[in-house]
Amino acid sequence: MSAQGIDQRVIALPAVPRDDPGSVDDALRRRRSVRTYSTGSLTLDQVSQLLWAGQGITGPDGLRTAPSAGALYPLEMYLVVGAVDGLSNGVYHYRPERHDLVLQQPEDRRAALARAAVRQVWMADAPAVVVIAAEYQRTTVKYGQRGIRYVHMEVGHAAQNIYLEAVALDLGTVFVGAFDDDRVHAALNLPAEHRPLGLMPVGRLP
């Protein structure tokens, strides 16, 4: 304490600017978890930006929008479509290297996914659901069991990117971690080595 009674260990920080619409600061300030969506469909441009934000390639060296331990990139992203202009309903696999989607299952699986997520039925109302899965061995082959922790960190990085991109697009999303792994895996017919780790329903704001 100084003679004036002020604790010199406490340092006041400058205020964060609030007058920069469209900035990362603005997106962080407006980010919220949204579980209610309007009935409007998403556009192909919007899902393109969301998927790129999660795992897109950002340069000729193959590095991506989200950091990865050892640049091993264990994450795999899927898009479950129910109402996206230009896409038929179904389950699609996102390929970052080509920035494209490959149809895996030509059927609307949103309701089945919602049932697998401890019956969070509101999820079926989202026009699309981004599914973040991982192939653990890509990371554990180098880092052993510690690599499992790194994979889970990467899911958080990718999810926050998608959150912020959704805000920038005036869309709503939420990260859902409450689900039966095996039922989600079966509902989407994922490859055996791809384990689902997070679901992110996306839709227009109500």
Query: Can you list the residues of the chain whose pLDDT is less than 70?
Result: 1-6
What's the pLDDT score for residue 25?
85
Distance CA 7, CA 18 (A): 28
What's the pLDDT score for residue 122?
96
What's the pLDDT score for residue 8?
78
What's the pLDDT score for residue 2?
53
> pLDDT of 83-93, one tens digit each?
999 999 999 99
pTM over 0.75: yes
Helix (H, G, I), strand (E, B) or coil at 83: coil
Q: Tell the CATH topology of 32-204.
A: NADH Oxidase (3.40.109)
Helix (H, G, I), strand (E, B) or coil at 120: coil
Please state the domain extents for the chain: 32-204
**Amino acid at position 175, single letter:** F
Distance CA 119, CA 126 (A): 14
Provide CB contacts within 8 A for 160, sequence distance 6+.
none
Question: Exposed/middle/buried for 176, CB within 10 Å: 0-12, 13-18, 19+?
Answer: buried
Helix (H, G, I), strand (E, B) or coil at 75: strand
